Structure 1
């Protein structure tokens, strides 16, 4: 897996379909819950096309412990971010799946970040990483992306206040060098951007590249879109290059990164399908619907084909002006809860798409 955006539609579909069919078979043999769900549904065990690969609703990981490995092989448990009292997804990783996900993340980011580790500022607090065996979505993201950096500096103190002094001396030390910034969209907005405005701190991150994802819903409430976010961060913090990504803890490692033209792309090992929220039938390009994510990475748990709660639109395939192959798409945000009830009813008693 060297160049993640080079396969055309035909090449990619045949390779990915074979791998996804192998995974379906593996999970049937190794996860009794997954097998039972497939037996109760009309899903095909061997799909003839990507649209036929059986999919689980992502909410199931909040309701059940789904894994395809013995408990003694679990090396890491990832949890989705949720507010207090909310159920969180639990994702069980063995060593192989964990290593594969880390390696794949490196390949996917190479076209943007290159091969060299850059000085890195993590726009978060170090306390997110306190438990090394159980990680939140934020912790998993930080851990995954910290592989691209060196001399890591955490911009927030444990109480979520901005470490202005530390930040300024770090920027001074690496002045003139390219710096990698990583964080979660809402955290950056709330604790870095807004705080620097409030305290009237003018920071210049110089020749920096920011990779960020997650938490757009809270920004939509403040009527901030991608363009405005990028523009304001450039004005206030001097950040030169910004790439958003779409991903979730239920398919960690399978991330869809924004190209130089601002579109999210599917790499060769993963794909997206957009489905009608009522009928679950695939919709044509240009039409908005529920995002289904496919990935050849999840082997320790049946997460290779998931129907998310997010709405998105595929804009095209193999013809983005950035030069990357694969489908390119955008995400409009989460489906309203009222509409979602209909989806969860469909899956009562373990139904599968």
Structure 2
């Protein structure tokens, strides 16, 4: 797909610089381009829009709220791709327990490059332009196959360009390499290391291990970046406040930044802002929809999160309805120097409710010849 004026404008700006109203105009233009692009090139996507959203009428919309969307779960049962298989340079898979269906997301070189460029801009906003020592709370085997990446592997690969002297703190049996970690931290003392991991792994294999071996680290200049949802921690009755408190007690890490994203939509990476809300960049946005009617809701009202991204060109993942419940808390906050919407995630929609919202999408679709 040729690079458009809309994406040029977004790539030329700093990630949190555009006021929401200005960003929405550009993002709406880009979303129309992507919707037409995928309608023309992906037969399954075209079939869906013809059946659910009135066909080519769905290509004409004046606001993001009127843009057609797909349920994110559709990628677990369908292969949606807008490029030839020969153009795919990387396939991402979502996380899932054994036996669960996983999403398979196909990236071509152009989409992968857009993902890389925008992630660099977002990361530099939070971490600065200099690469820093980085501790991955995972094992090196998670990134061995760079052409086909799990959610964990994709997360690590996305962070590697920002890492200097990366260290994998877990062995393949998921045990913490305490001695190796201590040596690494001594070697990089005073260099403000970054720790990166998926939330439940940070908790189970780092925080709890340090507590069990009665080892306390003191890393006040370190930053922890973590993601992956709170489902497993919520099952253990671990709140975000307890997570931060025990991390501080065990490792002395004061700066903790959570971020929200998903394999199914490249470009949608929402980092925690200084108010501890998730912040939309200029490359993506969210819409909150009523769980029963799917009508858009105003700020302060909780509902299903729809995510919009300016990046996906190789597959129709630019407008997706998630299974997460959230609420918009504010927008364009001058006190923190960040424009755009910011929001909280409240949990997941119950499966019984989800069927009511998306069963239309689960009916048999005409398959391409």
Structure-2-length-normalised TM-score: 0.92
Structure 2 residue aligned with 1:301, among 299, 315, 319? 315
Q: Is the CA contact 1:101–1:254 (under 8 Å) kept in the aligned structure 2?
A: no
Runs of 5+ consecutive residues of structure 1 not aligned to the other structure: none
Residue range with higher mean Cα deviation, 219-228 or 129-138: 219-228
- Residue range with higher mean Cα deviation, 58-67 or 212-221: 212-221
Name the structure 2 match of 1:107: 121
C-alpha deviation, 1:320, in angstroms: 6.1
Question: SS in structure 2 opposite 1:290?
Answer: strand
Counterparts in 2 of 1:112-127, with a 5 A limit?
Answer: 112-127=126-141
Is 1:146 aligned to 2:148, yes or no? no
1:27 aligns to 2:38 (yes or no): yes
**3-state SS, counterpart of residue 177 of structure 1:** coil
CA distance in 2, matches of 1:253, 1:196: 34
Counterpart Cα distance in 2 of 1:16 and 1:130: 35
Q: Within 5 Å, which residues of 2 pair with 1:180-329?
A: 180-319=194-333, 321-329=335-343
- Decide whether the 8 Å contact of 2:152 with 2:198 is kept in 1: yes
**CA–CA separation in structure 2 for the residues paired with 1:229 and 1:320:** 29
Structure 1 match to 2:90: 76
Q: 1:226 to 1:232 in 2, by over 3 A?
A: same
CA deviation after TM superposition for structure 1 residue 230, in Å: 1.5
Structure 1 residues 333-342 or 293-302, which shifts more? 333-342
Equivalent residue of 1:108, what SS? helix
Q: 1:178 Cα shift? A: 0.7
Distance 2:333 2:313 in 1: 31
Q: Structure 2 unaligned segments of length 5 or more: list them.
A: 1-10
1:165 to 179, 200, 204: 179
Distance 2:273 2:303 in 1: 22
Q: Is the 8 A contact 2:299 2:329 kept in 1?
A: yes
The CA deviation at 1:322 is 1.5
Count of equivalent residues: 351
Equivalent position SS for 1:250: coil
Does the aligned pair in 1 maintain the 2:72–2:322 contact within 8 Å? yes
Give CA-to-partner distance per residue, 1:81-133, whole Å, 9 cap, x none: 00000000000001111111011111112221010000111111111112221
**Structure 1 partner of 2:4:** none
2:355 and 2:33 mapped to 1: Cα distance? Answer: 32
Aligned to 1:5: 16
